Amino acid sequence: MDRPGTKDREIFSIFGKEGEICPIPPELDHFAFLGLPRKMTLDEAALESSYYDLSRKLHPDFFMNAPISKRILSLEAFARLNSAYKTLKDPILKAIYLVELESGKLEENHATPPVDLLEEILEAQEAADEYRCCKDDAEKAKNVRARLEAAKECFDTQKAGQQASLEGLGELWDSAVGAGVEPPADVIDKLRSVLGLRNYIDNILRRVTQALEVVP
């Protein structure tokens, strides 16, 4: 995929010379919209400041008496603003968005996880189902619960490892952007891998935690 150089990206102005709202190109990314760098770690104060400043200027309430064309532009711009803010404020959504900008759609949970992870997931799912069905057998329930608690500890550790990987890769990404170059391809590939598997871990952790909340 051809990727425009970091320094080649044009700066877009939401407002024209007369202060009117300009139509926002569909391809304009959230970072350019808010005037922020394409980094994994953003200055939170800058993000908040940009969002609230644009929110005050774009809010549809200020265009109630404007011609219909300007009201439509306001509604569209305000919707884009809220979408951008929601995405960039959340670390995971931001990471997914950045990776997709650079290398295309990330299809989470569409790829088969590694064999060892798949086996752990299937075992945990089996234990969760079994635990719900053994409430009348205290000894069996105790043994199954021990398996579930061990599985939860294992998946908690894996999730912490994923988070550490995301943070480390994010630092490499931001260093490249700070130097005015594109993030290295291997960094993007590793991020795709980590992000692509995160839902497997989140989903099984949720299921195991819910099962452990059942008191036989």
Is residue 26 in a domain? yes
My answer on whether 73 and 131 are in the same domain is no
My answer on whether 140 and 202 are in the same domain is yes
My answer on whether 79 and 137 are in the same domain is no
CATH of residue 14's domain is: 1.10.287.110
Average pLDDT over residues 142-146: 88
Other CB atoms within a 10 A radius of the CB of residue 137 amount to 12
My answer on whether 136 and 61 are in the same domain is no
Is residue 95 in a domain? no
My answer on whether 130 and 50 are in the same domain is no
Counted domains in the chain: 2
My answer on whether 59 and 147 are in the same domain is no
Going by pLDDT thresholds of 50, 70 and 90, the confidence category of residue 2 is very low
Is residue 83 in a domain? yes
| pLDDT the model gives residue 8 | 46
Is residue 131 in a domain? yes
User: What percent of the chain clears pLDDT 70, i.e. is strictly above it?
Assistant: 91
First to last CA, the chain: 54
134-141 long-range contacts (CB < 8 A, ≥24 apart) are 134/216, 135/214, 135/216, 136/216, 137/216, 138/216, 141/216
My answer on whether 135 and 83 are in the same domain is no
Domain of 122 in residue numbering reads as 115-212
pTM: 0.83
Q: What is the 3-state secondary structure (H, E, C) of 22-75?
A: CCCCCCCCHHHHHCCCCCCCCCHHHHHHHHHHHHHHHCHHHHCCCCHHHHHHHH
Going by pLDDT thresholds of 50, 70 and 90, the confidence category of residue 7 is very low
Average pLDDT over residues 60-89: 94
